[in-house]
Structure 1
Amino acid sequence: MEMTQKPWQLWSKEEFLQQFGGLYEHSAWITEQAWEHQPFNNLQDMLNTMKNIVAESSQETQLTLLRQHPDLGTKIEMSEHSQSEQAGAGLTGLSAEQFEQLAELNRNYTEQYQFPFILAVKGKSTDQILESMRQRTGRSATEEFQTALGQVHTIAGLRLQMWAEERNLYRKQVE
């Protein structure tokens, strides 16, 4: 679909969902609900609305949101956003040893918390990611659940920032 030149605040619901539906991994329901809360003053206001939608959701819905994220470094099919983010962190070119280490950490983490390890990997090296996985494994389930949700919001914010920068809309609208 060709992008129109009208401001994003004036888009149809279809345009809005097409552009922002991928901010939260395989969870366009957040964007659909956010649409109902318009108008937004700016992109940060829209993102805050999305965060509130998640916060007001049941714990089971939040858990489902966490489970939509792929394991880091896996070779399974994932969203374009995740592919790009993981490639940028070097997770698509791991050595066999690094891949096995990451796979084991992923297994241990998922077994302990019942959702995948989630980290906003932009700007992080493979070693930093592995260290973060080691540090976060062993936390209480409640603490890690909240940390993972925070990372989901960070990822959504980074995706929105990239979207805005690609369109020269970034004017301190997104933190």
Structure 2
Amino acid sequence: MPDQQAVFHLRDEVDFVSLLSGIYEHSPWVAEQLWRQKSEHPIGYFDDIAKIQQAMRDIVDQSSDEQKLMLLRAHPDLAGKAAAVGELTDASKSEQAGAGLDQCTDIELAHFLQINDQYRQKFGFPFIMAVKGATKEQILAGFEERTPNDLETEFARAINEVHKIAGFRLADL
């Protein structure tokens, strides 16, 4: 990875979008819109990760509910089928491994699959939690705490969790 100063001085759209396209899972449209907004920001704006994070957050928050739903649906289940068959992005794989989700017992994995399915059936998108620094037990507690929510509350919570994940990923650049 280039250093922070080089990252945010990229003048080429392809390089800029390529670098930032994974910040929001399988949603390069956020980085593409950020590139298109470059001229709206003062020189030096992209030297500050916090400003980039806020600009990307604003793009998502100002998008349609349909776009937000597609963004949520782009995320994998935690300890789900994509992980089992090796289809996670590198970022998701690292985040889930950090929470120990790559070391679930068969019983734990079956439980995660069951609660993932229940959650997805209720809300129409996967359970999303910024798991960096979390344990399996905390993730399971998150399922228990959030599954009783109504759709509006949980949709907002899931979007907020996506923003947290994006913040972690930007910081890792």
How many angstroms apart in 2 are the aligned matches of 1:4 and 1:124?
28
Identity between Structure 1 and Structure 2 (%): 38
Alpha-carbon offset, residue 90 of structure 1 = 0.5
What residue is the counterpart of 2:14 in the other structure? Answer: 14
Amino acid of the residue matched to residue 126 of structure 2? P
Q: Is the 8 A contact 1:67 1:116 kept in 2?
A: yes
1:47 aligns with 2:53: yes
2:139 paired with 1:133: no
| Residue 88 (1) aligns with residue 87 (2) | no
Matches within 5 A, 1:1-175: 3=2, 7-11=6-10, 12-38=12-38, 39=41, 40-41=45-46, 42-76=48-82, 77-163=87-173
Query: Deviation per CA, 1:59-96, whole angstroms, max 9, x where unpaired?
Result: 01100000000000024212110011001100011011
Secondary structure, counterpart of 1:112 in structure 2: helix
CA distance in 2, matches of 1:5, 1:25: 21
1:4 shift after superposition: 8.3
Aligned-residue offset at 1:134: 0.9
Tell me the C-alpha RMSD between the 2 structures.
1.6
Which has the larger helix fraction?
A: 2
Letter in 1 for 2:122: Q
TM-score normalized by structure 1? 0.87
- Which structure 1 segments of 5+ residues have no match? 164-175
Aligned-residue offset at 1:8: 2.3
State the distance in 2 between where 1:94 and 1:140 align: 29
The alignment's TM-score, normalised by the length of structure 2, stands at: 0.88
- Residue identity opposite 1:92 in structure 2: D
State the alpha-carbon separation in 1 of the partners of residues 75 and 153 from structure 2.
Answer: 18
- Listed as ranges, the gaps of 5+ residues in structure 2 are none
SS of the residue aligned with 1:69? coil
Residue 3 of structure 1 deviates from its aligned partner by 4.6
Residues paired across the two proteins, number: 162
Q: For 1:117 and 1:65, locate their aligned partners in 2 and report how far apart those are by CA, in whole Å.
A: 12
Contact 2:80-2:116 at 8 Å conserved across structures: no
